[in-house]
């Protein structure tokens, strides 16, 4: 289970060098290092991108997006994390909307 933003970033990096991952995210390598150490909270767009990567890979032991959002919110309750909370709300809303659209049609598989 992912219990912090720093763990989320490391998992999303998936063995890439910090430099490679930084280029993918459009940030400096030193920012990735600070995110992974937990000394700085990444911007909301970085958290959103990392969550997307982790969910795309279907990595085992990863909670559902809703569970992950709840865990991350618990770690980001300070005022500086307002943008991250907005992204997590968006992720949860998107999941709810997707679940509504994924109702099985009768007679089809």
Q: pLDDT tens digits for 37-66?
A: 999 999 989 999 998 898 877 654 545 667
pLDDT at 9 over 90: yes
Range of the domain at 11: 5-101
21 domain-assigned:
yes
Q: How many domains does the chain have?
A: 1
Predicted TM-score (pTM) of this structure: 0.54
d(CA 87, CA 97): 15
Question: What is the DSSP track for 1-69?
Answer: ---SHHHHHHHHHTT--HHHHHHHHTS-HHHHHHHHHTSSPPPHHHHHHHHHHHHHHT-TTPPPHHHHH
In the block, tokens 């959002």 appear at 69
pLDDT at 10 over 60: yes
Q: What is the model's pLDDT at position 109?
A: 43
Q: What is the model's pLDDT at position 80?
A: 72
d(CA 37, CA 4): 11
Q: What is the model's pLDDT at position 73?
A: 67
In the chain the first and final C-alpha atoms are separated, in Å, by 32
65 domain-assigned:
yes
36 domain-assigned:
yes
Least confident of 3-7, 84-88, 104-108: 104-108
107 domain-assigned:
no
108 domain-assigned:
no
Mean pLDDT of 65-86: 72
34 domain-assigned:
yes
How far out from the chain centre does Cα 97 lie? 18
């Amino acid at each position: 289970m992912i219990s912090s933003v720093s763990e989320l970033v490391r998992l999303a990096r998936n063995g890439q060098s910090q430099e490679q991952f930084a280029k993918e995210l459009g940030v400096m390598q030193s920012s990735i290092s600070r995110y992974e150490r937990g000394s700085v909270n990444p911007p909301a767009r970085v958290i959103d991108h990392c969550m997307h990567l982790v969910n795309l890979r279907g990595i085992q032991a990863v909670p559902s997006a809703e569970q992950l959002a709840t865990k991350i919110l618990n770690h980001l309750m300070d005022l500086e994390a307002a943008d991250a909370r907005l992204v997590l709300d968006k992720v949860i809303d998107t999941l709810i909307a997707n679940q509504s659209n994924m109702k099985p049609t009768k007679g089809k598989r």
